[in-house]
Structure 1
Amino acid sequence: MELLIIRHGESEADLLGVHEGRADFPLTELGEKQAKRMAAYIEQHYPPNIILSSPLIRANRTAKILEESIGCELIIEQDLMEFNNGVLAGLSREEAAIKYPLPKDGRPAHIPIQDGESDLEFRFRTDNIFHKVFFDYQEYERVAIVSHGGTISNLLKAFLKQPMNNEFIFATGDTGIHLLEIKGNHRIIRFLNKQEHLHKEEDKD
């Protein structure tokens, strides 16, 4: 079983400099182009048998563009949503720093942000959806997952069986692609954060 994990394209929040998380911003014009380039690349090289997506607009739109290109089924999975950042969603970083400053040594992993979730709850949610994908969709040869940066980082940690408290973060650029494989007792990383579909197109523009 292969997992093709994809981040959404550029969203309007990226241009506004706000905390995104559960704030539901759409893709920008560039984000739409990025998603189309990603979809064309995946159609040619790594076509999935099924697509799973976060319901948030930026990810769902990216997934729909992929669905239109591939022609396979698209299923919404609620647990693929980004970190629930509660009161910070949609706030500018400057306003958030004034209204809801972080504690001196950071927020403890078990304490949720106001109206949101804790780091522990976030990690448990992503572990849960990782195992659900593995068991519920194991009849598919290749499953595409369209989600968000923080969620993808935690999915990679779940794949690698990393502990909750560690210093590693897996970055994913706009429409970055990760390809993982589960083969018997082996977990294989084929590649991480591939974005050549963007760079090749930029060279042609």
Structure 2
Amino acid sequence: MELLVIRHGQSEADLLEVHEGRADFPLTELGERQAGKMAATVAKEYPPEIILSSTLKRASGTAQILQEAIGCEIRFYDDLREFNNGVLAGMSRKEAAIKHPLPEGGRPVHIPIQDGESALDLRYRAERILRQILHDYQGYQRIAIVSHGKMISNLINAFLRLPVGDVAFPTGDTGIHLLEQREGMRVVRFMNRQDHLS
């Protein structure tokens, strides 16, 4: 089974310079164009049999653009949503730095942000949805997953069975990762591919 893991395109929060997380901003016009370019590349080179997507607008909008290019079914999962950043959702980065500064040395992985989830909670959610996908879709050859930066990093960490909080995998707008589950082996084919944007 191949997992084609894709980040959404640029959202309005990027232009407003606010913390996004669970704040539900749609794609910008640029984000829609990015998604269109990604979709054309995926349709030509790595067409999935099904698309699984976060329910947040920036991801679901990206997934729907991909669906139009592929013509396959799309299913939405709350568990693919971005990190629940609680009080920071929708807050400007300047205001957040004053009202909710990071503790010295960073926030411990087990301590949630106010009204949100901890890094450990996010990793558990990624583990849970990854295991659900690998179980429920085991008859599929290739699945596309459209999600968000921190969730994607945690999905990759879970896929590679890495420790919590030690390794990050950044993903740019509409960046694509291709992971493969083989018998007894998990393979990374490529990471954060964005050449479709050039």
TM-score (norm 2): 0.98
Q: Secondary structure at the match of 2:105?
A: coil
Asked whether the equivalents of residues 52 and 77 of structure 2 are also in contact (C-alpha less than 8 Å), the reply is yes
Larger CA deviation: 105-114 vs 184-193: 105-114
Cα distance in 2 between the residues matched to 1:109 and 1:150: 14
1:159 and 2:155 matched: no
How far is the alpha carbon of 1:74 from its aligned partner?
0.2
Q: Secondary structure at the match of 1:164?
A: coil
1:86 maps to amino acid? G
How far is the alpha carbon of 1:15 from its aligned partner?
1.0
- Aligned pairs for 1:47-196 (under 5 A) are 47-166=47-166, 168-196=167-195
Q: Residues 12-48 of structure 1, C-alpha deviation per residue, up to 9 Å, x if partnerless?
A: 1111111000000110100000001111110000000
1:31 and 2:31 matched: yes
Cα distance in 2 between the residues matched to 1:22 and 1:99: 18
2:18 maps to amino acid? V
Q: Secondary structure at the match of 1:145?
A: strand
Q: Residues 143-169 of structure 1, C-alpha deviation per residue, up to 9 Å, x if partnerless?
A: 000000000000010111001131x21
Larger CA deviation: 29-38 vs 101-110: 101-110
Cα distance in 2 between the residues matched to 1:133 and 1:110: 25
Q: Residues 49-81 of structure 1, C-alpha deviation per residue, up to 9 Å, x if partnerless?
A: 000000000000000000111011100011000
Q: Secondary structure at the match of 2:126?
A: helix
How far is the alpha carbon of 1:105 from its aligned partner?
2.1
Q: Secondary structure at the match of 2:44?
A: helix
Asked whether the equivalents of residues 18 and 93 of structure 2 are also in contact (C-alpha less than 8 Å), the reply is yes
Cα distance in 2 between the residues matched to 1:95 and 1:173: 25
Q: Secondary structure at the match of 2:61?
A: helix
> What residue number does 1:9 align with?
9
Gaps of 5+ in 2: none
Cα distance in 2 between the residues matched to 1:126 and 1:198: 27
Asked whether the equivalents of residues 5 and 145 of structure 2 are also in contact (C-alpha less than 8 Å), the reply is yes
2:196 maps to amino acid? H
**Which stretches of structure 1, 4 residues or more, deviate above 3 A after TM superposition?**
none
Q: Residues 119-156 of structure 1, C-alpha deviation per residue, up to 9 Å, x if partnerless?
A: 11011001111111100111110000000000000001
1:161 maps to amino acid? R
Identity %: 65
TM-score (norm 1): 0.95
